[in-house]
Amino acid sequence: AQRVTQPEKLLSVFKGAPVELKCNYSYSGSPELFWYVQYSRQRLQLLLRHISRESIKGFTADLNKGETSFHLKKPFAQEEDSAMYYCALNRDDKIIFGKGTRLHILP
């Protein structure tokens, strides 16, 4: 079955420290993966897609097919990065979401 696993419910990181939010997937085809973010009192929004290989707000994510992972990384955390992050997989135009990781940036 296709699924997305985010093993950490909560991740606390000091400001200025590196951030890595883990995401593993299972999918039999060629995966299309995304990271979504929800800031406090805001709507869920797309952060980045692996096919565009972009860096948004300093975040990057590399698809590792060997490890079936799509971890989200940022070298230096900022307080405004505190939010809920969801990893997601496109399965036949339906988006399968992980359970999310709450990132808490400590001052």
Partner 1 sequence: GAGVSQSPSNKVTEKGKDVELRCDPISGHTALYWYRQRLGQGLEFLIYFQGNSAPDKSGLPSDRFSAERTGESVSTLTIQRTQQEDSAVYLCASSPHGLGAAGEQYFGPGTRLTVT
Residues of this chain that bind partner 1 (CB under 8 A): 4, 6, 32, 34, 43-46, 49, 86, 88, 90, 93-100
Tell me whether residue 12 or residue 78 sits nearer to partner 1 (CB atom).
12
Amino acid residing at 39: Y
Tell me whether residue 67 or residue 93 sits nearer to partner 1 (CB atom).
93
Who's near 80: CB < 8 A, 6+ residues apart?
Answer: 105
Q: Whose structure tokens read 């419910």?
A: 9
Residue 7: CB minimum distance to partner 1, A:
13
Sort strands 10-14 and 101-106 into parallel, antiparallel or unpaired. parallel
Spatial distance between the Cα atoms of 24 and 68, rounded to a whole number of angstroms: 6
Tell me whether residue 6 or residue 77 sits nearer to partner 1 (CB atom).
6
Residue 55: CB minimum distance to partner 1, A:
16
